[in-house]
Amino acid sequence: MGIGEERLYYANSYLWEFQGTVVDVRRDGEKWHVRLDASAFYPTSGGQPHDTGTLNDVPVIDVFTEDGAVFHTVTKPLSVGEHVVGHIDGKRRLDFMQQHCGQHILSRCFEDLMDVDTVGFHIGGEWVTIDLDVQSLSWSDVERVEWRANEVVWENRPVYARFVNPEELAHFSLRHPPKVTEDIRIVSIDGFDDNACGGTHPSATGAVGAIKVVKAESMKGKVRLSFVCGARALADFQRKTSVLREVGQALSTGVDELVLTVQKLQANAVSAQKQVEEAKEALAEATARELSAHATVLDNGTHVVLHALDGNLDFADLKRLGAKVREAFVEQVPACIGVVGVAGERLMVQLLSSAPSVHANEWFAASVVPLGGKGGGNRQAAQGSVPLSTEVTVQDVLQRLHSTLTKENPGL
Ligand SMILES: [Zn+2]
């Protein structure tokens, strides 16, 4: 039995149903690897994934080759000698046929137009990739080659495959010599390309539908091109059109004006952010002045401020305020400042001290850490946060700060 008789897809890529006999079964835990005398199932090879389907209604979850033989992995046992009816998932296979034939066309166009070789090919779940033997590619070159590839699709050239012997092989000018020395199969796109290939292809290039490159990335001295063909190309185009429609509607602009509109929005956002920063800076300064004005001045001259900030703030706001308070009076007079504010689910605490008898970090450790707080600092400044809960409020934290301060520093 020649290899062509056993692998029915070689002669007919559209054979979704076939019959055969089980000739070998190998148990592998709860799986069985089954070999048939003839099969239309394509095994994972040459960049094309395996078919799925059923053998006598038992799902086929994997198809692979071992020493040239095709094994079908099933989840229920079949017995040697059993007659089987096989069904191939035609939708999955047609997808692979579109992608695989699209790859032959695209690779050949890169050879013809740019003298660039394809050195890798893989059909993935989403994209198909080829690795091109070139350092870099411009996107305009990609588009130029892509255009020619689609012309080949529109020309609807017949695609056919045949086995050749070494003498016949000599008549083909193949860019890549076949990887096998016997059962050499040539897939031809009429008048355009001959390629040694064991994969499945549609009967004419028109069935590829469309070829669309979606990404080109440089890696390890090569360029990896991701593309989609046929149904995948339409699905990709629909998805992207839908995104563009939504973005266009949200921005009240057409596709052609989209880039300019987004650039303007970005510029506006940068300027708005700058204004927000300026306003926050001014607010922090005003708050610092306010705190300074309301400080309790003790007999020893130490200024004490314990204050709860309004609204929701973030750590950057608190740090900004700390810097302003320091500038405003902590650096001028001995002072102990405790500021508390809500930031989402936490209470932020910032402590500043320029009073000789108050160590900010110790103050933090004695008053905030027992409430479940995390953070710390040094003699001059300490900051951190406490999880906000029904047991711990802003007032609780302020009270703790006050009592610790007076207990530890009775002279204050
Ligand atoms: Zn191929």
The burial of 29, by beta-carbon neighbours within 10 Å (0-12 exposed, 13-18 middle, 19 or more buried), is given as exposed
Distance 243 CA to ligand 1 centre (A): 33
Distance of CA 320 to the CA centre of its chain: 36
Rounded distance, CA 326 to CA 292, Å?
A: 10
In the prediction, which pLDDT does 5 show? 53
| 23-60 pLDDT tens trace | 999 999 999 999 999 999 999 998 999 999 999 999 99
**Kind of pairing between the strands at 374-377 and 381-387:** antiparallel
- Does the model's pTM come out above 0.85? no
From CA 380, how far away is CA 158, in angstroms rounded? 82
Pairing of strands 184-189, 159-164: antiparallel
The pair phi, psi for residue 383, each rounded to 5°, is -150, 160
CA of 72 to the centre of ligand 1 (A): 22
Averaged pLDDT of the chain: 92
pLDDT the model gives residue 346: 86
**Centroid of ligand 1 to alpha carbon of 322 (angstroms):** 67
pLDDT tens string 258-295: 999 999 999 999 999 999 999 999 998 998 888 888 88
Cα-to-centroid distance, 105 and ligand 1 (Å): 10
Name residue 322's amino acid.
G
Whether residue 179 contacts residue 96, with contact meaning beta carbons closer than 8 Å, is answered with no
C-alpha of residue 281 to centroid of ligand 1, in Å: 64
For 77-81, what is the mean pLDDT?
A: 95
**Fold exhibited by the domain 94-247:** Threonyl-tRNA Synthetase; Chain A, domain 2 (3.30.980)
**Ligand 1 centroid to 137 CA: how many Å?**
23
**Cβ atoms 305, 335 nearer than 8 A:** yes
Tell how strand 69-74 and strand 193-196 pair up. unpaired
* Ligand 1: centre distance to CA 358 (Å): 78
Q: What is the Å distance from ligand 1's center to 323 Cα?
A: 67
β-sheet bridge partners, residue 312: 342
Q: In CATH, which of 3.40.50.300, 3.10.310.40, 3.90.950.10, 1.20.1740.10 is domain 289-406?
A: 3.10.310.40
How remote is the CA of residue 184 from the centroid of ligand 1, in Å?
A: 12
- The CA 95 to ligand 1 mean position distance, Å, reads 14
**Domain parsing of the chain, residue ranges:** 3-88, 94-247, 289-406
Share of the chain above pLDDT 90, in %: 67
CATH classification code of 3-88: 2.40.30.130
State the distance from the centre of ligand 1 to the C-alpha of 5, rounded, in angstroms: 20
Nearest-CA neighbor of 145 among 97, 94, 110, 197?
A: 110
